[in-house]
Structure 1
Amino acid sequence: MGYNIVVVGATGNVGREMLNILAERQFPVAKITVLASRKSLGTEVSFGDKTLKTEDLDTFDFTGSDIALFAVGSDATKQYAPKAAAAGCVVIDNSSLYRYDPDIPLIVPEVNPQAVHGYAKKNIIANPNCSTAQMVVALKPLHDRAKIKRVVVSTYQSVSGAGKGGIDELWDQTKSIYNPTDDKPARQFTKQIAFNVIPHIDKFLDSGDTKEEWKMVAETKKIVDSSIKVTATCVRVPVFVGHSEALNIEFEDFLDEDEARDILREAPGIMVIDKREDGGYVTPIECVGDFATFISRVRQDTTVENGLNMWCVSDNLRKGAALNAVQIAELLGREVLKKG
């Protein structure tokens, strides 16, 4: 006995990763269907040792499907997710469309699993922004111990967060640096990304923050605790996969760095690698393909009364997107649907 699963946007980076993770984690699948737009119709994708051909999203009937993992943009989600939900299929959406809807739960299973029961209002569950997902996994166990007052986060986000176009642009620009006759101007990003960093992700708001920075604030409040103050600076860096974050956390109560490490080591979804020596920390290239959120460089911040600094790294295509969606599906199956 298993679930009838649909992956929407199966030919994209996140959609393919969803299929990989469903297979790796041996999700109880009775039937799996892969959907794409008509321009990608018939494209083959892998699911374990099987090869699947994509079907047409525009004409697909979701009746009889249990869970649909959506890995398409907000426009397509707005059109097709309500159809799936109305057909009785629970939608787990990776876009930003539903994250701030008070009637739709925004879930990171290690942080707020109890929220899964709220899916029934609209038959939709939202997956958070990639930079938020890894951060709240690290914040929640510390918040439970000492209550977080304020977080200052600076992100170092890989180009895969901007999709295949971002990966291609970094690759093409990097090659063009060594071939001056083959100029590759910025298209996906606002400035050259190769050998550069860009302090701009998503559009600018009237406040001066970018939409990406606003997302981290709003989503942390919804997932963890509305009383936490968050300020973010989000930066795109020339890394293919893996988001990094420098976190400065101020607590209501004192939390010793050694106790913080012990708490994080015992927390679900976290791996602590924190040695004060050359290479005693994790970088993005080492987290690719891994399920964990990695924590390094834990240390007191003596400039505030109860402060800690830490370094947080995760595979943004996994925990920041596909893995979290599959974990939500596992949670939904375990706590609600109970067919697996």
Structure 2
Amino acid sequence: MSTVNVAIVGATGAVGTKILEKLLERNFPSSSIKLLASKRSAGNVIEVDGKQFAVEETVPESFDDVDIAFFSAGGAISKMFAEEAVKRGAVVIDNTSAFRMTETIPLVVPEVNADVLQEHNGIIANPNCSTIQMVTALEPIREKFGLNRIIVSTYQAVSGAGAEAIDELEIQSNQFNNRQEIDAKLLPTGAGEKFYPISFNAIPQIDAFDSSGYTFEELKMINETKKIFNMNELHVSATCVRIPVVSGHSESVYFEVDKEGVSVDDIRSELVNAPGIVVQDDAKTQHYPMPLFSEGKDDVFVGRLRKDPDHPAGFHMWVVTDNLIKGAALNSVQIAESLLATEKK
């Protein structure tokens, strides 16, 4: 198909808006773009690059004549409408956790495993934002030198918890500066019994805890990484932390390769030549990735490359990307681009 009819479910949200922006910015071959949201948002108008798009209520009939439907309105909405969209002829690219670990549904980062798109049955899952940037940075290393262990600690922006969390960070910062009592209502998780301030703080919990002591965010990183790499034997552990940054997730990643005699220069050389990665790694000039400077950019930034002092095959790196762009919207659009390229072959 030369052009496709597109729908964006959750179009008024932060990720949905970014998906629309990326479709237009990258000249995605769409003949029409339909914006879908809740009933209360129907009738609103979203303007991007001088183009206006009216928002419609999401109903089953919304997917008639739709070829590709991006879903980013929460897992409950995806479970309610995704299969209906497929029945009506659409391919669904889902940005929630609803289908990520379903065995028959591909979980895709195009730089890593675009080949599995050929196996889809109508639904394709977009991974967790923190997983996307890590596997993008590790894939060129894994492909060249092998990989057997990952230990990651994340430093995740509040935008990953939604617009309300961004507002709460601003409110709490003002309360702190004015020496007022800090009001916490959202974090670490809306389903929790306790809420903690995020302003001038770091909260070592994202999502609820599993009986294992890991949070569901940490388990997502562990299980999604194994699925994307198709390596059930891979050793992965994660600790996920929320910090008072608006946008841009940061990760400290320790990894062990299979091949002997690998140097930092070898690792750096693979990363420099990898698609979607920008290496910022010069300790002498204090050149390294930071979330503030990743905001609004497409790339995954990698720096602080160094060898572990005690393990001959162990390395450390620092990985940063805009969680709303490569961590969500851009990866979804890249999946659609890869899907169309696969169909042309």
TM-score using structure 1 length: 0.96
**Cα deviations across residues 132-186 of structure 1 (Å, max 9, x unaligned)?**
0000001111011111110110000000000111111111111111224474233
Following superposition of structure 1 onto structure 2, how do residues 130-279 of structure 1 map, counting pairs within 5 Å?
Answer: 130-181=129-180, 183-189=182-188, 190-224=195-229, 225-254=231-260, 255-279=262-286
What amino acid does structure 2 have at the position aligned with 1:96? Answer: S
What amino acid does structure 2 have at the position aligned with 1:97? Answer: A
Identical positions, percent: 44
**Cα deviations across residues 302-322 of structure 1 (Å, max 9, x unaligned)?**
211201110000000011100
Which residue pairs with 1:20 in the alignment? 21
Which residue pairs with 2:125 in the alignment? 126
Cα-Cα RMSD: 1.4
Residue pair 2:182, 2:197 contacting (<8 A) in 1 also: no
1:328 aligns with 2:335: yes
Which residue pairs with 1:34 in the alignment? 35
The CA distance in 1 between the partners of 2:208 and 2:327, in whole Å, is: 20
Alpha carbons of 1:57 and 1:152: their partners in 2 closer, same or farther (altered >3 Å)?
A: same
Which residue pairs with 2:68 in the alignment? 67
1:288 aligns with 2:295: yes
Residue pair 2:109, 2:132 contacting (<8 A) in 1 also: yes
Residue pair 2:254, 2:315 contacting (<8 A) in 1 also: yes
Q: Which moved more, 1:217-226 or 1:230-239?
A: 217-226
Alpha carbons of 1:183 and 1:220: their partners in 2 closer, same or farther (altered >3 Å)?
A: closer
Residue pair 2:71, 2:92 contacting (<8 A) in 1 also: yes
Q: Which moved more, 1:47-56 or 1:86-95?
A: 47-56
Q: 2:164 aligns to what SS in structure 1?
A: helix
**Alpha-carbon offset, residue 47 of structure 1:** 3.6
What amino acid does structure 2 have at the position aligned with 1:83? Answer: E
Gaps of 5+ in 1: none
**Cα deviations across residues 216-260 of structure 1 (Å, max 9, x unaligned)?**
010000001222110000000000000000011111213210010
The CA distance in 1 between the partners of 2:60 and 2:254, in whole Å, is: 48
**Alpha-carbon offset, residue 59 of structure 1:** 5.3
Moved over 3 A (4+): 180-183
The CA distance in 2 between the partners of 1:159 and 1:170, in whole Å, is: 8
The CA distance in 2 between the partners of 1:182 and 1:300, in whole Å, is: 45
Aligned residues: 336
Residue pair 1:37, 1:58 contacting (<8 A) in 2 also: no
Which residue pairs with 1:300 in the alignment? 307
Q: 1:31 aligns to what SS in structure 2?
A: strand
Gaps of 5+ in 2: 189-194
The CA distance in 2 between the partners of 1:188 and 1:39, in whole Å, is: 26
